[in-house]
Amino acid sequence: MGSQCCSERNFDGLSDRYKRILWIVIALNAVMFGVEMTAGLFAQSQSLQADALDFLADSITYALSLWVIGKSVSLRTLIAMIKGVSLSLMAGWVLLSTIYQMTGPHSPEPVMMSGVAIGALIVNMLSVVLLISYKDGDANVRSVWLCSRNDAIGNVAVIIAASGVWAAESGWPDLIVALFMASLFLNSSLQIIRQSLAERREASIPISNETK
């Protein structure tokens, strides 16, 4: 059943339209990383900085996704697995830095948090709309969709965190949302790695049959 599932998700990115979309999404993510990280540092917001790191990771992984299009299954799945592992590492960083911040939670600037998060949400929703037709591709293509979806969810979460910070006059809502985002990164990481391994196994079946 796992093989059948993987064979249904076999779009490997070989499409001029898909490549153009990736270039647009890469540019949007790179710009938003700079904007959101700067705002996160000024607003002292852990969730904004976590979301900015997600933008940076997406810019790099989307560029890898673009480069690997048309390459062998083994290379495509290897890159997808690297992206999955990088998401796990990012989840770990967000988790540890958030735990550290919990030793003395401060109150971030909610107005800047919400304003930047709304702008980022608009950018990410555009990316989601552009990529939604390719959400069920191979592990490499699907990882792009999952990262874009995570960004949109993360922006909504930051807006909620900003509202909580304003209402409670406390930094705890910001830290709680950062923890949620870490769990989201980890979940996506596991999905990408599992699909990559399944596709590698499926691709190796004909080879093993020939050697018997």
| pLDDT tens digits, 61-103 | 788 888 888 888 888 888 888 888 888 888 888 788 777 666 6
Torsion on CA atoms 191, 178, 90, 114, rounded to nearest 10: 100
Q: Where does the pLDDT of residue 1 fall: very low under 50, low under 70, confident under 90, or very high at 90 and above?
A: very low
Q: Mean of the pLDDT values across residues 9-18?
A: 79
pTM for the structure as a whole: 0.67
Closest to 48 (Cα-Cα) out of 163, 177, 168, 170: 177
Whose tokens are 């191979």? That residue is 138
Give the Cα separation of 193 and 208 in Å (integer): 22
Instruction: List, in order of start, the domains of the chain with CATH numbers.
Output: 14-207 (1.20.1510)
Give the Cα separation of 175 and 154 in Å (integer): 13
Closest to 162 (Cα-Cα) out of 179, 148, 152, 176: 176
